[in-house]
């Protein structure tokens, strides 16, 4: 049961991060819906499970999703990645009590 709850939480948080970061980079993107972001977060989570090439494969799939589904360029895709990293680090510091 805990595995299912963890998977659902990971998908919802990953989808929220993807949706919010694309909204920051390209506010008027019509493909950017929360349901699509959760679906792509599931695909990105599956791509990251590969034992040897998980990180590289995850980045390749991420850039393919950004360029083909969301119609973003390379710099916009990098911006989405940087916004996701910034939000994740900011929330981690905030929740850990390090940002006082």
DSSP 71-98: ---HHHHHHHHHHHHHHHHHHHHHHHT-
What is this structure's pTM?
0.82
Q: How far is CA 99 from CA 11, 85, 88, in A?
A: 26, 16, 13
Q: How confident is the model at residue 18 (pLDDT cuts 50, 70, 90)?
A: very high
pLDDT tens, residue by residue, 31-60: 999 999 999 988 888 877 777 676 788 888
Reference 77, options 11, 35, 38, 29; nearest CA is 29
For residue 48, give both structure tokens.
Answer: 């990251």
């Amino acid at each position: 049961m805990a595995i299912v709850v963890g998977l659902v939480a990971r998908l919802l948080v990953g989808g929220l991060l993807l949706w919010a970061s694309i909204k920051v980079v390209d506010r008027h993107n019509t493909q950017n819906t929360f349901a699509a972001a959760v679906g792509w977060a599931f695909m990105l989570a599956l791509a990251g499970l590969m034992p040897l090439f998980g990180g590289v494969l995850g980045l390749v799939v991420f850039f393919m999703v950004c360029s083909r589904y969301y119609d973003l360029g390379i710099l916009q895709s990098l911006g989405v990645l940087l916004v996701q990293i910034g939000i994740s680090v900011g929330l981690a510091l905030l929740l850990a009590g390090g940002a006082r």
